[in-house]
């Protein structure tokens, strides 16, 4: 196997590991939002207020996930394709 092929598979493995770590952190952040929402409900906030708060908390999480997905997609494209997409 050539060194070039080994380098590609190593970088793909690193990207995959980074992706899993990032996914785990986003899931953890979402779980913490849910726990905080449960606490707010127990403190007497109305369910509608808590739902609105949760939506406002989850929007940045979704933006982060989308941004990471876009970066990952662009890093896997060949160089000539990256310039066409911009």
**pLDDT tens string 73-85:** 887 766 555 555 5
Q: What is the mean pLDDT of residues 5-30?
A: 74
Confidence of residue 13 (pLDDT cuts 50, 70, 90): low
The residue extents of the domains of the chain are 13-76
pTM of the predicted model as reported, rounded to 2 decimal places? 0.64
Q: What is the mean pLDDT of residues 44-52?
A: 96
Statement: residue 38 has pLDDT above 90: yes
- Secondary structure of the chain in the HEC alphabet? CCHHHHHHHHHHHHHHHHHHHHHHHHHHHHHHHHHHHHHHHHCCCCHHHHHHHHHHHHHHHHHHHHHHHHHHHHHHCCHHHHHHHC
């Amino acid at each position: 196997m050539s060194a070039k092929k080994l380098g590609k598979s190593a970088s793909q493995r690193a990207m995959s590991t980074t992706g899993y770590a990032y996914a785990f952190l986003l899931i953890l952040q979402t779980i913490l939002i849910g726990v905080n929402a449960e606490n707010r409900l127990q403190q007497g906030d109305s369910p509608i207020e808590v739902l609105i708060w949760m939506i406002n908390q989850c929007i940045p999480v979704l933006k982060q996930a989308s941004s990471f997905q876009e970066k990952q997609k662009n890093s896997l494209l060949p160089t000539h394709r990256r310039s066409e997409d911009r």
